[in-house]
Amino acid sequence: MQSFDQLHRYLFQGANVRGEMVRLQESYQAILDSYPYPQAIQKVLGELMAVTSLLTATLKFEGDISVQLQSEGVLKYAVVNGNNQQQLRGVARWDESVETLPEHFSELFEKGYMVITLSPKDGERFQGVVALDKPTLAECIEGYFARSEQLPTRVFLYAKQDAPAMAGGFLLQILPGSAETTDPEELESFEHLAQLTETMTQDELFALPAEDVLYRLYHQEDVELFEPQSVVFKCTCSRERSAGALVGIDKEELMQMIAEEGAVKMNCQFCHTEYSFDAIDVESIHAGTFGSSSAAQ
């Protein structure tokens, strides 16, 4: 059994560089099963999942990260959310009138940009925006780091759609430190590690056990490997959260909807769970007592 759906973190002793590797199978398949996405969109979602997992592992707080791509091109919108427990969920929207989607990442976007949102459980949200002006998602992410954190970062992403579908990636980053990131020796060893990582092929990454991948890449380096963390597809939606979204909507409007359709129905865009609310629910939502008495669906 291969160790998929796991995130591996490691540290290069003496090089002041951290590394991460992630490989996804079941969690990736769960997103692919949620909607009939064309292959080009599946690939973007796989890379987005991998990179969100890698970014989430760099969080120093409890909370979540969302990586969102937006454009006026064929791909309208794609987003993956991840939290510090490595629970991922995602969704994409595209122009479904287009029969044959372009294969290359950059051709899917027009006036595309990426929004990375860090939301700590306690504290201020942080949002960074960069243009999707590079040929690959990995390079766009590197551009984001160069601009926002000024930490030399390399990202490698992979996704294959033929069964079994798999996604994965690596992240290498110079640790923020006293010598700062302009030390030529430090940059040189970082470049060396990046070149090693770049030799990994998609076939090898998806075929070898995790230990073999890391050994094959870094056996001449002094690496400290941490316990891997499981990655799962899990939606964080709930009936209570959906009810919360109804607070801001006029009660009369909701009652009108119930009169016409029997209920107010809300669908989670990520997992497609339907939450249904009747007149009594709407009364208690607007009275602020929803969820305190009725546990029943």
Instruction: Output the smallest distance, CB 273 to Zn ion, in A.
Output: 5
User: 15 in helix, strand or coil?
Assistant: coil
CA angle (180, 50, 167) in 5-degree steps? 135
The burial of 122, by beta-carbon neighbours within 10 Å (0-12 exposed, 13-18 middle, 19 or more buried), is given as exposed
> According to the binding rule CB under 5 A, does residue 232 interact with Zn ion?
no
- Single out the residue of 251, 271, 283, 284 in contact with Zn ion (rule: CB under 5 A): 271
Q: Which of 268, 279, 286, 291 binds Zn ion (CB under 5 A)?
A: 268
Of 106-114, 129-137, 169-177, 268-276, which part binds Zn ion (CB under 5 A)?
Answer: 268-276
Footprint of Zn ion on residues 103-132 (CB under 5 A)?
none
Smallest separation, CB 267 to Zn ion (Å): 9
Is 237 among the residues that bind Zn ion (CB under 5 A)?
A: yes
243 near Zn ion (CB under 5 A)? no
Binding mask 12-31 for Zn ion (x = CB under 5 A): --------------------
Extract the runs of DSSP E, i.e. beta strands, from the chain: 6-12, 17-24, 63-70, 75-83, 87-94, 113-120, 126-131, 153-160, 166-174, 223-225, 229-230, 232-233, 264-267, 274-277
Of 34, 49, 26, 43, the closest CA to residue 160 belongs to: 43
Bridge partners of 18, per DSSP, are 11, 173
Does position 80 interact with Zn ion (CB under 5 A)? The reply is: no
Q: How many residues bind Zn ion (CB under 5 A)?
A: 6
Under the binding rule (CB under 5 A), the answer on residue 235 touching Zn ion is yes
- What tokens does 291 get? 């969820």
Token pair of 160 as six digits: 């294959």
* Measured distance CA(186)–CA(172) in Å, rounded: 13
- Rounded to a whole number of angstroms, the minimum distance from the CB of residue 89 to Zn ion is 7
Which is nearer to Zn ion, 217 or 235 (by Cβ)? 235
* Residues at the contact surface with Zn ion, assessed by CB under 5 A: 235, 237, 268, 270-271, 273
